[in-house]
Amino acid sequence: MSMSKRLQIVVSDQEAEEVRQAAIRSGLSLSEWARLALRQAHDRQVGPTPEQKLDALDRALACEHPVSDIDEMLSEIEAGRDLH
């Protein structure tokens, strides 16, 4: 069984009202809205999980983009620039 901790954050009256309104718009309690916002901020900072990275790689590979030797591709890109 995990224990819960209380987190107190000091904000201005205006910030408190803006957060309260955001929670109402989301249909969440203020506490749940704040927990969700903290989780989302944490996830953005931490970045994708290894599973998410592998999933993104699988999706990219499924697109069947053209591939070639990097030097050949760069050469083709440069040749294309000379067409103008």
pLDDT in tens, 18-71: 999 999 999 999 999 999 999 999 988 888 889 999 999 999 889 988 778 899
Distance CA 80, CA 84 (A): 8
Q: Are 33 and 26 in contact (CB under 8 A)?
A: yes
- What is the residue extent of each domain of the chain? 13-81
The residue written with tokens 């990097």 in the block is 70
Q: pTM (2 decimals)?
A: 0.54
Q: Quick one: pLDDT band at residue 84, thresholds 50, 70, 90?
A: low
Distance CA 79, CA 26 (A): 53
Instruction: Classify residue 45 by its DSSP letter.
Output: H
Tell me the H-state helices in 1-84: 13-26, 30-46, 50-62, 70-81
